[in-house]
Amino acid sequence: MAKKRVGIQLPKQARNQTVEERYSLELEALAPIADIIDIRADTPAEFAEGVRDMDAIITSWGLRIDKAVIDNLDKCVVIGVGSVGVDMVDIEAATAAGLVVTNVPDVFIEEVADHAMGLLLDLARRTPTMVRMAREGDWYQARPILSKIPRLLGQTLGLFAFGNVAHCMARRAKAFGMHVIAYDPYVSELEITGAGVEPVSFPELLERSDYISVHAPHNEETDHAFSSDAFAQMKETAVIVNTARGPIIDEAALISALQERQIAGAGLDVLEQEPPELDNPLFSMENVVITPHVASATTRMRPETRRRVGREVALVLRGRWPMSCVNPTVLPKVALERWQPYPMNRGPNR
């Protein structure tokens, strides 16, 4: 039987490598059933034409897989996204076309939670200010600044969404003695309370939180969820941390809230525009810590993500449901077999 074809947009920086070298980790699962095809494309039109006859597409960078690309597909059954966020794919168009979209929601959750907690701690201990004062030799005015800051023990952390990363963030915050509350209308109160977290409404989250950590996907519902109205309801001493997606926070409203001291600070790994303009006012604010969308980056992240997306696509190409499906309503409508994994120490006939 002829092998399937999986299209990946060819990264410019890797064009001197062979396919086997470039995609060795994805091919661990895909090699027996599929060939990976480089798509040399610099424009959406070139990409759409390049993937027209692919059985699958893998993406985590580059050109967006929008409705125009999806409508141009002749054979594709699955789009594998090598990240938690899937905003580079038009999910509604993919679902309408009967395409399964997979992602890797549980590969680097601990790393992102570490980064979010690090940003929180930087703001809690006013690290940017302390570093500047130490470098300037201003040792005697630093302690009075921190003497006005409450310790973390007993402070309230509000989680916006309660998915995998938020679960990990809750564990970290509780280790510091923080009280944790969470708003997520798509997670049951039993699951939230089972993690030792108090479920609350969105207005309660805004009003009660000393720190808010954002962990939601970006979609129509969460776009600019934190805007002028939200910041007006937060404490003047509150800090917001975002390691999810930039557009969840209305950046202009955030800048205004910080300038007018409606809130006390922000820790941001993601921004509305990436990379941002260097004259972005956020860069000049000492109560803001910005990192360049690196929360998930460790030695493990990229290799394991590539292996996982290869396994997910391979499952679908073998006619099975993937382990993670972003648009599960499409699964009953496609010719895929639902499967149940068996323990590693037991054969299928035991």
Angle between helix axes 164-175 and 109-124 (nearest 10 degrees) is 40
User: Rounded to whole angstroms, how far apart are CA atoms 333 and 188?
Assistant: 27
Q: Would you list the DSSP string of 156-211?
A: EEEEES-SHHHHHHHHHHHHTT-EEEEE-TTS-HHHHHHTT-EE--HHHHHHH-SE
Task: Check if the beta carbon of residue 89 is closer than 8 Å to that of residue 65.
Answer: yes
DSSP-assigned letter for residue 13:
G
* Residues pairing with 337 in the sheet: 320
How far CA 286 is from CA of 259, 270, 283, in Å, comes to 11, 17, 8
Q: Is 350 a catalytic residue?
A: no
State the Cα–Cα distance between residues 151 and 154, nearest whole angstrom.
Answer: 8
What is d(CA 334, CA 77) in angstroms, rounded to the nearest whole number?
A: 9
The three-point CA angle 256-258-264 to 5° equals 155
**Catalytic-labelled residue, pool 293, 302, 304, 318:** 293
Which residues sit opposite 290 in a β-bridge?
268
Asked if 318 is an active-site residue, the reply is no
Q: What gap in Å lies between CA 206 and CA 238, rounded to an integer?
A: 9
Please identify which of the residues 274, 286, 300, 320 carries the catalytic annotation.
274
224 is catalytic: no
Quick one: DSSP state of residue 346?
S
SS3 259: helix
The amino acid occupying position 140 is Y
Annotated active-site residue in 245, 306, 307, 308: 245
Q: Which of 105, 103, 96 is nearest to 334 (CA)?
A: 96
CA distance 6 to 51: 9
So which residues are the catalytic ones? Answer: 245, 274, 293
